[in-house]
């Protein structure tokens, strides 16, 4: 079988061969096969693919290896939350879930439409379920005041995959926090959100990894009428790390806040990629991404608003990306993109990239604040803007994590 499997991917690297082998060890499943074929179409995404030109998994991940360090400690509070853990040993969930939250852990793979657009998501869907982990975890939320769900992803050696589906029923609301803590050579998770009419989601993502790890978190959300989604990401990157979010406004009146901050130091690469489709009239998107990068670090922002003819009328969408290059040797790549076919829309994007504002620095120093402190204050304030909409249970922790990084 393995020779035939070899042919899945053209000129495979050692890492890709290992992935093919892992696929070969899975039980046969037509849906799994479809997902894997979608991944195999390109193999690990690389710089010759337009969407991956700045984030090259193929080059960064030659072989699958267990990283040198174990997972980072989870800074997000577990108190008051229902905690779900993907650990090296398997998957842990609370013994009992309150009314309004239902969890189904399936051994089989769910169909994954649109897998071709997200090769790393397709890979996660194809390989989730190894070890003692479920192939697909599905949550159904029917309650309007369910406690926060907190997911912890701790490494499992060479590679770790997860696939989670959330169905947020009409009028229900979900507060979700996720900690991606590294500890695995390759981590890929794919999360899908199906939000019905009036459903609400507040999602917060904390990501921290090591400079010998690769990570991709792919989220796909569909928003029903008047649904509201707010997402906040704080990412520290890894050797390569991509936090990708694709949102479809599916019915009119839905609202999306899409915020992220990335902090990337020596040897780290943090990529925030988003794609928002205004597939229904009168939907609103507000997007703010902030980044700070040190010597030897890389930040990537790719954002796209797609507004189709007719269905996208009365779209109100704004995308802002602002990056600070704090030291020589830092690099930032950005592509804020608008593709618009409807005429009665208000769409804007802005992108700034550079050092701290001289005028602001001077103002603070004139008032007696020493340069280093002034710099820290301004940088913290700059990053904090992107974190302000995170759920209040975790907001301060995110701010503190960002502060610690900035002041060290």
Partner 1 sequence: MDCCGGTTEHEDDCGEVKVKDSIDAKTVEAAKALESENYSAGFSTTIDTDFAPKGLSEDTIRYISAAKNEPEWLLEWRLKAYERWLTMEEPSWAMVRYPKIDYQAYYYYAAPKAGAKYASIDDVPKEILETYEKLGIPLREAEVLLGVEGAVETAAEGREKPRVAVDAVFDSVSVATTFRKELEKAGVIFMSISEAVHEYPDLVKKYLGTVVPQSDNFFATLNSAVFSDGTFVYIPKGVRCPMELSTYFRMNAENTGQFERTLIIADESAYVSYLEGCTAPMRDENQLHAAVVELVALEDAEIKYSTVQNWWPGDEDGKGGIFNFVTKRGDCRGDRSKISWTQVETGSAVTWKYPSCILRGDDSVGEFYSIAVTNGRQQADTGTKMIHLGKRTKSRIISKGISAGKSDNTYRGLVSVNRKAVNARNFTQCDSLLIGDKCGAHTIPYVENRCASAQLEHEATTTKLSEDQLFYARQRGIAEEDAVALLVNGFVRDVLQHLPMEFAVEAQSLLKVSLEGSVG
Q: Does 335 bind partner 1 (CB under 8 A)?
A: yes
Residue 64 CB, shortest distance to partner 1, in Å, is 30
Candidate ranges 39-47, 76-84, 129-137, 339-347; the one touching partner 1 (CB under 8 A): 339-347
Distances (CA, A) of 122 to 79, 95, 244: 33, 30, 13
From 136-144, 217-225, 256-264, 321-329, span contacting partner 1 (CB under 8 A) = 321-329
Q: Considering the complex, state which of residue 310 and residue 367 has its C-beta at the smaller distance from partner 1.
A: 310
User: Which of 27, 114, 354, 388 is in the footprint of partner 1 by CB under 8 A?
Assistant: 354
Contact between 340 and partner 1 by CB under 8 A: the answer reads yes
What DSSP assignment string belongs to 68-83? SS-PPP--S--TTEEE
In the complex, what is the shortest distance from the CB of residue 265 to partner 1, in angstroms, rounded to a whole number? 14
| Residues 6 or more apart whose Cβ sits within 8 Å of residue 77 | 393, 394, 397
Q: Which is nearer to partner 1, 129 or 312 (CB)?
A: 312
The interface with partner 1 within residues 41-100 (CB under 8 A) comprises 50
Tokens of 370: 């020493």
Q: Is 13 or 274 the residue whose CB approaches partner 1 more closely? A: 274
116 or 357: CB nearest partner 1: 357
Q: Which is nearer to partner 1, 349 or 395 (CB)?
A: 349
- CA–CA distance, 347 with 354 (Å, rounded to integer): 24
The DSSP letter of residue 52 is G
Minimum CB distance to partner 1 smaller for 29 or for 327: 327
Q: Which is nearer to partner 1, 66 or 313 (CB)?
A: 313
Of 31, 117, 333, 377, which lies in the binding site for partner 1, with binding defined by CB under 8 A?
333
Site for partner 1 contains 310 (CB under 8 A): yes
- The single-letter DSSP state of residue 51 is G
Rounded to whole angstroms, how far apart are CA atoms 14 and 169?
43
Does position 272 interact with partner 1 (CB under 8 A)? The reply is no
> In 169-297, which ranges are E strands?
173-180, 184-195, 200-207, 214-223, 228-235, 240-249, 255-264, 269-278, 284-293
Residue 326 interacting with partner 1 (CB under 8 A): yes
Specify the residue, 17 or 342, whose C-beta has the smaller distance to partner 1: 342
Question: Within a 10 A sphere around the Cβ of 4, how many other Cβ atoms?
Answer: 9
From 169-177, 247-255, 341-349, 366-374, give the range in contact with partner 1 by CB under 8 A. 341-349
Q: Kindly report the length of the chain.
A: 408
β-sheet bridge partners, residue 296:
none
How far CA 300 is from CA of 96, 112, 157, 314, 318, in Å, comes to 41, 27, 27, 30, 19
Is the sign of the CA dihedral 363, 366, 367, 370 positive or negative? positive
The number of angstroms, rounded, from the C-alpha of 93 to the middle of its chain's C-alpha atoms is 22
Indicate whether 376 belongs to the interface with partner 1 (CB under 8 A).
no
Q: How far is the CB of 340 from partner 1 (least distance, A)?
A: 5
Q: How many Cβ atoms are within 10 Å of 201's Cβ, its own excluded?
A: 22
Contact pick of 70, 93, 97, 353 for partner 1 (by CB under 8 A): 353
Is position 325 an interface residue for partner 1 (rule: CB under 8 A)? yes
Closest Cα partner for 290 from 133, 402, 124? 402
Pick the closer one to partner 1 by CB: 106 or 351.
351
Minimum distance between the CB of residue 50 and partner 1, rounded to whole angstroms?
A: 7
Of 2 and 352, which CB lies nearer to partner 1 in the complex structure? 352
In this structure, the dihedral spanned by the alpha carbons of residues 26, 32, 36 and 38, taken in order and rounded to 10 degrees, is 180
**Location of structure tokens 């991404």:** 289
150 vs 278 by CB, closer to partner 1: 278
| 392 touching partner 1, by CB under 8 A | no
**Cα first-last separation, the chain:** 51
Q: Which of residues 226-245 bind partner 1 (CB under 8 A)?
A: none
| 107 lies in the binding site for partner 1 (CB under 8 A) | no
Q: Applying CB under 8 A, which of residues 35, 64, 123, 345 lies at the interface with partner 1?
A: 345
Instruction: Choose the binding region for partner 1 from 13-21, 29-37, 96-104, 307-315 (rule: CB under 8 A).
Output: 307-315
DSSP bridge partners of 167: 140, 194
| Residues in touch with partner 1 (CB under 8 A) | 50, 309-310, 313, 323, 325-355
């Amino acid at each position: 079988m393995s020779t035939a499997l070899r042919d899945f991917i053209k000129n495979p690297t050692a890492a890709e061969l290992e992935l093919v082998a892992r696929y070969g060890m899975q039980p046969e499943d037509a849906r799994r096969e479809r997902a894997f074929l979608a991944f195999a179409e390109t193999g690990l995404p690389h710089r010759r693919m337009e969407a991956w030109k700045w984030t090259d998994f193929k080059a960064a991940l030659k072989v699958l290896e267990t990283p040198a360090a174990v997972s980072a400690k989870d800074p997000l509070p577990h108190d008051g939350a229902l905690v779900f853990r993907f650990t090296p040993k398997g998957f842990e969930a609370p013994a009992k879930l309150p009314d309004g939250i239902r969890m189904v852990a399936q051994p089989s793979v769910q169909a994954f439409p649109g897998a071709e657009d997200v090769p790393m998501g397709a890979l996660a869907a194809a390989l989730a379920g190894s070890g003692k982990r479920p192939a697909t975890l599905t949550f159904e939320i029917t309650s309007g005041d369910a406690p926060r769900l907190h997911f912890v992803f701790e490494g499992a050696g060479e590679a770790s995959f997860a696939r989670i589906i959330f169905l947020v029923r009409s009028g229900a609301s979900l507060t979700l926090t996720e900690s991606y803590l590294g500890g695995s050579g390759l981590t890929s998770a794919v999360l899908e959100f199906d939000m019905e009419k009036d459903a609400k989601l507040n999602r917060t993502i904390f990501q921290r990894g090591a400079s010998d790890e690769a990570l991709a978190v792919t989220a796909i959300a569909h928003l029903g009428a008047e649904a509201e989604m707010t997402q906040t990401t704080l990412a520290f990157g890894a050797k390569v790390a991509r936090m990708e979010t694709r949102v479809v406004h599916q019915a009119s009146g839905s609202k999306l806040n899409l915020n992220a901050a990335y902090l990337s130091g020596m040897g780290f690469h943090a990529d925030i990629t988003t794609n928002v489709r205004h597939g229904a009239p009168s939907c609103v998107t507000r997007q703010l991404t902030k980044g700070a990068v040190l010597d030897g670090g890389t930040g990537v922002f790719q954002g796209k608003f797609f507004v189709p003819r007719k269905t996208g009328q009365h779209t109100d969408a704004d995308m802002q990306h602002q990056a600070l290059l704090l030291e020589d040797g830092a690099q930032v790549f950005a592509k804020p993109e608008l593709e618009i076919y409807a005429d009665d829309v208000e769409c804007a994007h802005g992108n700034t990239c550079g050092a701290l504002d001289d005028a602001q620095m001077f103002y603070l120093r004139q008032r007696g604040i020493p340069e280093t402190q002034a710099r820290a204050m301004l940088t913290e304030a700059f990053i904090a803007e992107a974190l302000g909409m995170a759920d209040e249970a975790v907001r301060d922790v995110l701010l503190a994590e960002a502060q610690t990084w900035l002041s060290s």
